[in-house]
Amino acid sequence: MTMPSINPKELFRKSATTAHKYALVGFLVFLVSVYGFLSWRILYFSQLEPDQSEVTNQLKTAGVPKINEDAIRKIEQLKDNSVSVQTLFEQARDNPFQE
């Protein structure tokens, strides 16, 4: 029994036409897979809650602003001494978004 001879050119031509048929399907499967994976990871990370240790570490590093008491007293003195400054403070209290 003899083995049939295999022509490499014919084998390449048949494999190329078969690959060409399924190239679009393969590409679409690849795109759907990437889209599905990214959607799954986004969903996972959007529902992830931080650990309590991470929260306490961030709270420790967050600085509480310090208010200079001397500056507050000086501003209050200036406000009491000047009518235009009193008007400015009243306008700012009435409408803080006014320019």
The model scores a pTM over 0.95: no
Query: Cα(first)–Cα(last) distance of the chain, in Å?
Result: 99
Question: Of 50 and 11, which is predicted with more confidence?
Answer: 50
Judge whether residue 89 has pLDDT over 80.
Answer: no
Average pLDDT over residues 81-89: 75
Alpha-carbon span 26 to 16, nearest angstrom: 14
**Contact present, 60 and 50 (Cβ < 8 Å):** no
* pLDDT score of 2: 66
Alpha-carbon span 92 to 94, nearest angstrom: 6
